Amino acid sequence: MRVTLDHIHDEAHNIRSFFFKPDGPFAYIAGQYTELTVPHDSPDERGTKHWFTISSSPTQQLLSITTKLATEHASTFKQALWKLPIGTKLHMADSMGDFVLPKDKTIPLVFVAGGIGCTPFHSMIQWLTDTNEQRDIQLIYSVNRPEEVAFKSLFESYAKKFQLLLKEPSPEWDGPTGSLSADKILELVGDPTGKMIFLSGPEQMVKGFEKDLLDRGVERHLLVVDDFPGYTTI
Ligand SMILES: Cc1cc2nc3c(=O)[nH]c(=O)nc-3n(C[C@H](O)[C@H](O)[C@H](O)COP(=O)(O)OP(=O)(O)OC[C@H]3O[C@@H](n4cnc5c(N)ncnc54)[C@H](O)[C@@H]3O)c2cc1C
């Protein structure tokens, strides 16, 4: 599908949402992803195509992706994306993926986001908000520093429990601190019985938590994962 860059919004430090107007109807379910092509001169080995979660909600007119610009060794793709003029036409692949809300609306959900892994949760929570559907959601969101928190007001306004975990807190921070781990997730969740846990973030983090949570007795069918390759840390 051909899409046109409509506007850009800074969500947090070095984190931006890019909003696109599709040429025609673009069907997707909140939480799914797409592949965006950004043609540019002399691309590095990371290429001109990248996978991105669609951070907007199907209730919204524009499609968005939200991503982070690395402070060191940013790919030529990200550098080109950051410099795109408004009005640029690009190609976006059809939506795909099964990191989506369960059909059963009564299942209590635990969303665990590591850094930029917050993007599918933004899509889902925006969708639930716009469609006036209340689900039991606990959102655990881990970042390094306070300035890296994106979508805070939406998350705070919807989630039954919103827990922000800061690795490097500011002096005035009085919430949870430290690094996320399977044990920390279970401590924040309490009794996980019957709860569906969604993990989203850098590949290494998600794969590690997935294994550790399974080892600690979380049932396979209650664990849903979305891992982003290409990032080493949150
Ligand atoms: C299903 C799916 C959904 C995704 N959703 C999102 C999303 O919503 N938002 C998002 O931001 N990303 C998402 N990603 C990841 C995305 O596709 C990119 O892999 C990621 O953004 C990193 O982009 P980049 O390679 O341009 O690295 P950059 O962001 O430019 O850099 C990231 C860091 O990676 C290191 N690095 C990694 N590979 C190399 C290399 N080959 N050479 C040198 N340094 C390297 C560098 O140290 C650098 O600091 C998703 C991936 C998948 C598969």
Q: How far is the CA of 188 from the centre of ligand 1 (A)?
A: 28
Q: Is 143 exposed, middle or buried (0-12, 13-18, 19+ CB in 10 A)?
A: buried
Per-residue confidence (pLDDT) for residue 28, from 0 to 100: 98
Of 114, 140, 100, 110, give the one whose Cα is nearest residue 219. 110
Per-residue confidence (pLDDT) for residue 231, from 0 to 100: 86
Neighbours of 93 (CB within 10 A): 13
Per-residue confidence (pLDDT) for residue 203, from 0 to 100: 95
Per-residue confidence (pLDDT) for residue 234, from 0 to 100: 63
Q: How far is the CA of 191 from the centre of ligand 1 (A)?
A: 34
Q: What are phi and psi of 206, to 5 degrees?
A: -65, -45
In the three-class reduction of DSSP (H, G, I as helix; E, B as strand; rest coil), residue 229 is classed as: coil
**Ligand 1 atom 28 nearest Cα:** 74
Q: How far is the CA of 1 from the centre of ligand 1 (A)?
A: 22
Pocket test for ligand 1, best of 14, 52, 56, 84 (most atoms within 8 A of CB): 52
Of 95, 16, 88, 3, give the one whose Cα is nearest residue 58. 95
Tell me the pTM.
0.96
Per-residue confidence (pLDDT) for residue 11, from 0 to 100: 98
Query: Each residue's pLDDT tens digit in the chain (234 positions)?
Result: 999 999 999 999 999 999 999 999 999 999 999 999 999 999 999 999 999 999 999 999 999 999 999 888 899 999 999 999 999 999 999 999 999 999 999 999 999 999 999 999 999 999 999 999 999 999 999 999 999 999 999 999 999 999 999 999 888 888 888 999 999 999 999 999 999 999 999 999 999 999 999 999 999 999 999 999 888 766
**In the chain, which ranges are continuous DSSP H helix?**
76-82, 119-130, 152-158, 182-189, 203-215
Q: Is 12 exposed, middle or buried (0-12, 13-18, 19+ CB in 10 A)?
A: buried
Per-residue confidence (pLDDT) for residue 103, from 0 to 100: 97
**Ligand 1 atom 51 nearest Cα:** 228
